[in-house]
Structure 1
Amino acid sequence: MEAKQPVLELENVSVAYDSQAGMVQAVNDVSLKIYENTIVGLIGESGSGKSTLGNAIMRLLKNSAVLTNGTIKVNGKDVYQMDKKELQKFRWSQMSMVFQSAMNALNPVLTIEAQILDVLLSHHKKMSKKEARAKAVELMEIVSIDPSHLKSYPHELSGGMRQRVVIAIAIALDPKLVIMDEPTTALDVVVQRSILDKIKEIQKVKKFAILFISHDFSLVSELASKVAIMYAGRFVEVTDSQSLKQAEGHHPYTQGLIHAIPHLTADEVSIEGIPGNPPDLVDLPSGCAYHPRCPFANERCRIERPAISKVNNREIECHLYDVERKEVVKS
Structure 2
Amino acid sequence: MEEKQPVLELQNVSVSYDSPAGMVHAVNDVSLKIYENTIVGLIGESGSGKSTLGNAIMRLLKNNAVLTSGTIKVMGKDVYSMHKNDLRKFRWSQMSMVFQSAMNALNPVLTVEEQILDVFLSHDKSMSKMEAKKRALELMDIVSIDPKHLKSYPHELSGGMRQRVVIAIAIALDPKLVIMDEPTTALDVVVQRSILDKIKEIQRVKKYAILFISHDFSLVSELSSKVAIMYAGRFIEVTDSKSLEQPERHHPYTQGLLKAIPQLTAEDVTIEGIAGNPPNLVDLPSGCAYHPRCPAAYDLCKKVRPEIRYVDGRAIECHLYDTVQSEV
For the superposition of Structure 1 and Structure 2, which TM-score range results when normalised by the shorter chain? over 0.9
Residue in 1 that maps onto 2:257: 257
Matched, 1:275 2:257: no
Residue in 2 that maps onto 1:304: 304
Residue in 2 that maps onto 1:25: 25
Residue deviations 1:285-315, cap 9 Å, x none? 0000000000011110000000001111100
Asked whether the equivalents of residues 39 and 226 of structure 1 are also in contact (C-alpha less than 8 Å), the reply is yes
What is the alpha-carbon distance in structure 2 between the residues aligned to residue 20 and residue 26 of structure 1?
A: 15
Shift in Å at residue 75 of structure 1?
Answer: 0.1
Residue in 1 that maps onto 2:161: 161
Equivalence map 1:97-246=2 (5 Å)? 97-246=97-246
Whichever residue aligns with residue 37 of structure 1, its letter is N
Asked whether the equivalents of residues 58 and 91 of structure 1 are also in contact (C-alpha less than 8 Å), the reply is yes
Structure 2 unmatched runs, 5+: none
Shift in Å at residue 324 of structure 1?
Answer: 5.4
What is the alpha-carbon distance in structure 2 between the residues aligned to residue 39 and residue 233 of structure 1?
A: 21
Asked whether the equivalents of residues 226 and 238 of structure 1 are also in contact (C-alpha less than 8 Å), the reply is yes
Which range moved further: 20-29 or 181-190?
A: 20-29
Residue in 2 that maps onto 1:76: 76
What is the alpha-carbon distance in structure 2 between the residues aligned to residue 267 and residue 3 of structure 1?
A: 46
Whichever residue aligns with residue 301 of structure 2, its letter is C
Asked whether the equivalents of residues 309 and 323 of structure 1 are also in contact (C-alpha less than 8 Å), the reply is no
What is the alpha-carbon distance in structure 2 between the residues aligned to residue 215 and residue 155 of structure 1?
A: 27
SS of the aligned residue for 2:32 comes to strand
Residue in 2 that maps onto 1:329: none
SS of the aligned residue for 1:28 comes to strand
What is the alpha-carbon distance in structure 1 between the residues aligned to residue 166 and residue 62 of structure 2?
A: 21
What is the alpha-carbon distance in structure 2 between the residues aligned to residue 129 and residue 160 of structure 1?
A: 27
Shift in Å at residue 47 of structure 1?
Answer: 0.2
SS of the aligned residue for 1:213 comes to strand
Residue in 2 that maps onto 1:34: 34
What is the alpha-carbon distance in structure 2 between the residues aligned to residue 201 and residue 237 of structure 1?
A: 28
TM (norm. structure 2) is 0.98
Residue in 1 that maps onto 2:94: 94
What is the alpha-carbon distance in structure 2 between the residues aligned to residue 167 and residue 316 of structure 1?
A: 33
Shift in Å at residue 270 of structure 1?
Answer: 1.3
Residue deviations 1:142-176, cap 9 Å, x none? 00001110000000000000000000000000000
Whichever residue aligns with residue 129 of structure 1, its letter is K
Shift in Å at residue 323 of structure 1?
Answer: 3.4
Whichever residue aligns with residue 98 of structure 1, its letter is V
Structure 1 unmatched runs, 5+: 327-331
Shift in Å at residue 119 of structure 1?
Answer: 0.4
What is the alpha-carbon distance in structure 1 between the residues aligned to residue 221 and residue 175 of structure 2?
A: 24
Shift in Å at residue 63 of structure 1?
Answer: 4.5
Shift in Å at residue 21 of structure 1?
Answer: 3.0
What is the alpha-carbon distance in structure 2 between the residues aligned to residue 205 and residue 296 of structure 1?
A: 44
Shift in Å at residue 275 of structure 1?
Answer: 0.2
Residue deviations 1:34-83, cap 9 Å, x none? 00000000000000000000000000000401000000000000000001
What is the alpha-carbon distance in structure 2 between the residues aligned to residue 146 and residue 137 of structure 1?
A: 9
What is the alpha-carbon distance in structure 1 between the residues aligned to residue 12 and residue 325 of structure 2?
A: 26
Aligned residues: 326
What is the alpha-carbon distance in structure 2 between the residues aligned to residue 215 and residue 306 of structure 1?
A: 24
Residue in 2 that maps onto 1:284: 284
What is the alpha-carbon distance in structure 2 between the residues aligned to residue 192 and residue 325 of structure 1?
A: 41
Identity of matched residues, %: 82
SS of the aligned residue for 2:244 comes to helix
Shift in Å at residue 268 of structure 1?
Answer: 1.9
Shift in Å at residue 325 of structure 1?
Answer: 8.4
Residue deviations 1:272-295, cap 9 Å, x none? 100000001011100000000000
